[in-house]
Amino acid sequence: MELSGLTIRNFRNLASLDLELPSAGVVVLGDNGQGKTNLLEAMYYLVLFRSLRGAKDRELVRFGEEAFFVGGRANGGAFEVRAGYESAGRRKKISLDGNPVTRISDAVGKILAVSFAPSDRGIVAGPATGRRRYLDVLLSLAEPGYLARLTEMRSALKQRNAALRRGRGDEARAFDEPLASAGARVLEARTRWVERWSPRFGALTAALGERAEARMRYRTHRPPTADARSQFLDLLASHESRDLRRGMTTAGPHRDDLELSLEGRELRMYGSAGQQRTAAIALRLVEAETLRDSAGSPPIALYDDVFAELDEDRQARLLNLIHETLPGQAIVAAPRESEVPASMLDRPRWRVKGGRVAA
Amino acid sequence: MSVIAELATELAKLPGIGRKTATRLVYHLLKQPAASVERLALALQAVTRSVRACSTCGNLTEQDPCEFCADQRRDAGLVCVVEEASDIDAIERSGEYRGVYHVLGGHLSPLDGIGPDDLRIGSLLHRVGNGAGIREVIVATNPSMEGEVTATYVRGALDGHGVKVTRIALGLPVGGDLEYADGVTIARALSARRDMGG
Ligand SMILES: [Zn+2]
């Protein structure tokens, strides 16, 4: 997978860019705050049609403007993805090869990329929300139907919670069925993925130089059995009085966690900063391998200033893994050339300043 | 606010009409002969003054009972439950349905503060229970999540009322509204309706 052309209008501090990208990718240089990260965020917007950093669409519109636009030509022009957003109507328009898509999920994952950033450590060190989001993004891109089920689960959950806040058990119960049907599929997909990739996560963490054994485990109320739907229905029924008291649905996949551990100790609480950073990189590599396996070709790799914070040994180990897993297009951003590994410098340089890009 | 802006604001409240379109409509109206615009104003007035909900089925009508409830040739033992009065047009388009209707006035949506008491479910139970000879209730709410949930709720509410409850077999994509379905699709959905059990 590669991005061959990129058009940006009024996205964060990027006013107007029309860029051609070589197959190998580029090295993006520029001081912080000039637009490097925004450029990577704009590229990733074409993957998910949401901000990689969790920002709201209206926050992505350039100051003083009313709309932004990002368009990308992929694989030498084989297909084209465009996304636009207007603040006034809060309207998002997405098209594939010029045809508007009605459901965003139809366009999600047409372009595939994996983004590495120092803030990824927050996935490991932060609250469960970040780890669920990691799983949800990954599965939305890798598994057909996952995003649609997740969206259904969320709408059912919103309705059920609103009913609970109104103190109406009968109304809440009416939404148990759609919540359980969609939720069961979400739960199954998540547990299946974690089971399958946990050993690989351990192997990658080891290959990055971590000596203790790393594992991931999906933490849920009850691991799903053959009939996850009726199991979830039972769970909802048994929690109903508590849910009514709290005014929210207290059990379900929306409360689960992806537990990451080293020698059985949770990385979130007991890992050192270095161990957390290593685990975060391993998560991104597992993500890359998952996407590669589902799409049949490696995703685009976006590196936002990730090499400088690794010591020489880890950097060398990471480069080996990247060479294997992500041999395709790479967009390597850093403040200075000296902070880019030598083996990645064989790409054209772009210099970003004040939202402009000079080749 | 100027009268122009005021009218644009009112028009912009209509579904599918943004601020821009509303403004364009106002200027379009201003270019028309005064008589034609006045006819529009009178029609709007007439609609608001003389249209009300049918006291039996909730359909929007000028006469009470509405044309469907009053029609002796229709099968009063068969009731089709829809979300909105506008859905009746869609069912009628099929040309196949000979029963009467019941308009709920929406679907369950706690997020919008709409619970069972805000829908015309009580009056449906009343109709079924008062010996009017209703044999079958066809639930034709939309195939959206809220529509399905509402169908299940109605099914539950009708438990023990000794009436057959069926669900229209919408071959529509989930989220597709009844309103936009063509007559053939609806005729097929009606004839393939399934028993909701109970
Ligand atoms: Zn009537």
Would you kindly state where each structural domain of chain B is located, as residue ranges?
Answer: 3-50, 68-195
Contact at CB, A158 and B111, closer than 8 angstroms: yes
What is the domain partition of chain A in residue ranges? 1-112+299-359, 122-279
Contact at CB, B111 and A159, closer than 8 angstroms: yes
Rg (CA), chain A: 21
> Spelled out in words, what is the top-level CATH class assigned to the domain A1-112+299-359?
alpha beta
pLDDT value of residue B130: 83
A335–chain B nearest CA distance, Å: 44
| β-strand pairing of A257-262 with A265-266 | antiparallel
Q: Which residues contact A171 (CB under 8 A, 6 or more apart)?
A: A163, B108, B110, B115, B116
Contact at CB, A177 and B113, closer than 8 angstroms: no
Q: CATH number for the B3-50 domain, one of 2.60.120.260, 1.10.8.420, 3.65.10.10, 1.10.287.3240? A: 1.10.8.420
Strand partners, A265: A262
CA torsion B7-B12-B13-B17 (nearest 10°) is 140
d(CA A31, ligand 1 centre) in Å:
71
Interval B53-97: pLDDT, tens: 999 999 999 999 999 999 999 999 999 999 999 999 999 998 889
Is B159's Cβ below 8 Å from some Cβ in A?
no
Mean pLDDT of chain B: 90
Q: CATH number for the A122-279 domain, one of 1.20.1050.90, 1.20.1090.10, 3.20.20.70, 3.40.50.300? A: 1.20.1050.90
Contact at CB, B152 and A177, closer than 8 angstroms: yes
For the question of an ipTM over 0.90, the answer is no
Q: Is A51 exposed, middle or buried (0-12, 13-18, 19+ CB in 10 A)?
A: middle
Is B109's Cβ below 8 Å from some Cβ in A?
yes
pLDDT value of residue A254: 95
Rounded to an integer, what distance in angstroms lies between the CA atom of residue B172 and that of residue B188? 11
CA torsion A316-A318-A319-A320 (nearest 10°) is 90
Q: Evaluate if residue B172 carries a pLDDT over 60.
A: no
Q: Which residues of B touch A88 (CB under 8 A)?
A: 19
Give phi and psi for A196, each to the nearest 5: -70, -40
Nearest to A155 among B108, B145, B153 (CB): B145
B142–chain A nearest CA distance, Å: 15
Pick out chain A residues at pLDDT < 70.
Answer: none
Interval B35-47: pLDDT, tens: 999 999 999 998 8
Contact at CB, B110 and A168, closer than 8 angstroms: yes
pLDDT value of residue A153: 97
pLDDT value of residue A13: 96
A162–chain B nearest CA distance, Å: 5
pLDDT value of residue A141: 96
Q: Evaluate if residue B173 carries a pLDDT over 60.
A: no
Q: Is A34 exposed, middle or buried (0-12, 13-18, 19+ CB in 10 A)?
A: buried
**Do the domains B68-195 and B3-50 match in fold?**
no
> Spelled out in words, what is the top-level CATH class assigned to the domain B68-195?
alpha beta
Which pTM does this prediction carry?
Answer: 0.88
Q: Evaluate if residue B174 carries a pLDDT over 50.
A: no
B169–chain A nearest CA distance, Å: 18
Rounded to an integer, what distance in angstroms lies between the CA atom of residue A267 and that of residue A125? 7
